[in-house]
């Protein structure tokens, strides 16, 4: 799984490198790119909340593309800073929360939605576990343990939510959207468990 993800990332970075080079020539800073990506993901959340599901999905995918460019520009231009990394990570968490809040508003306020209360609960769980996925990695790496394992990371959340909703909308009675959110909540919970187990295994020597 990790090798497949790494290979996909390398191919993606090669494809987007010309765009990164263009942004550098224009003098666009990494933090400006980060801010633009965050603004777009918030607009995506508003679109989800107001029932423009295809638009929300498209904006979410676009925000994911932009989110990768800030790191590429920072590394290629020598502008990588600790504040930039902090800023990017913090706004990513804002985006995660805003997305699922927007979906919860849609599921709860739109007539005819299948199991709206369950959908809101799944949105809350998705927010919780997506934040825990990120926290587990940050805390582990703060202790000197690399922790990128797991089936559902941010890229997967964006693709699994943005792609289907862009192509198919919410589905009949919102069932497609509800199913995706439930899948992301479950997958993120599994990822938290995988990271917990990884850190436990790696630090086994600390326990004697």
CATH number, domain of 58, equals: 1.20.120.1760
Residue 67 reports pLDDT greater than 80: yes
pLDDT 10s digits, 127-157: 999 999 999 999 999 999 999 999 998 889 9
Query: How confident is the model at residue 6, as a pLDDT?
Result: 62
Q: Which domain holds residue 94?
A: 2-203
Query: How confident is the model at residue 208, as a pLDDT?
Result: 62
- Is 208 contained in some domain? no
75 confidence band (pLDDT: 50, 70, 90): confident
- Is 109 contained in some domain? yes
- Is 199 contained in some domain? yes
168 confidence band (pLDDT: 50, 70, 90): very high
pLDDT 10s digits, 8-26: 677 767 777 778 888 888 8
Total domains, the chain? 1
Query: How confident is the model at residue 207, as a pLDDT?
Result: 67
Output the pTM of the full model. 0.91
Query: How confident is the model at residue 2, as a pLDDT?
Result: 60
What gap in Å lies between CA 172 and CA 158, rounded to an integer? Answer: 21
Query: How confident is the model at residue 80, as a pLDDT?
Result: 84
């Amino acid at each position: 799984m990790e090798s497949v993800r790494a290979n996909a990332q390398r191919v993606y970075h090669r494809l987007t490198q010309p765009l990164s080079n263009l942004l550098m020539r224009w003098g666009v800073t990494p933090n400006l790119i980060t801010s633009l990506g965050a603004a777009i993901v918030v607009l995506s959340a508003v679109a989800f909340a107001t029932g423009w599901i295809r638009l929300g999905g498209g904006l979410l995918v676009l925000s994911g593309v932009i989110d990768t460019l800030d790191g590429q520009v920072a590394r290629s231009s020598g502008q990588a800073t600790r504040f930039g990394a902090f800023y990017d990570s913090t706004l990513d968490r804002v985006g995660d929360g805003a997305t699922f809040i927007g979906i919860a508003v849609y599921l709860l306020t739109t007539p005819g939605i299948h199991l709206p209360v369950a959908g809101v609960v799944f949105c809350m769980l998705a927010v919780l576990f997506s934040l825990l996925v990120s926290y587990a990695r940050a805390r582990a790496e703060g202790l000197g343990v690399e922790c990128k394992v797991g089936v559902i990371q941010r890229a997967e959340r964006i693709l699994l939510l943005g792609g289907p909703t862009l192509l198919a909308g919410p589905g009949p009675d919102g069932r497609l959207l509800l199913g995706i959110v439930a899948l992301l909540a479950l997958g993120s919970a599994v990822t938290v468990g995988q990271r917990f187990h990884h850190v436990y295994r790696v630090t086994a020597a600390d326990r004697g």
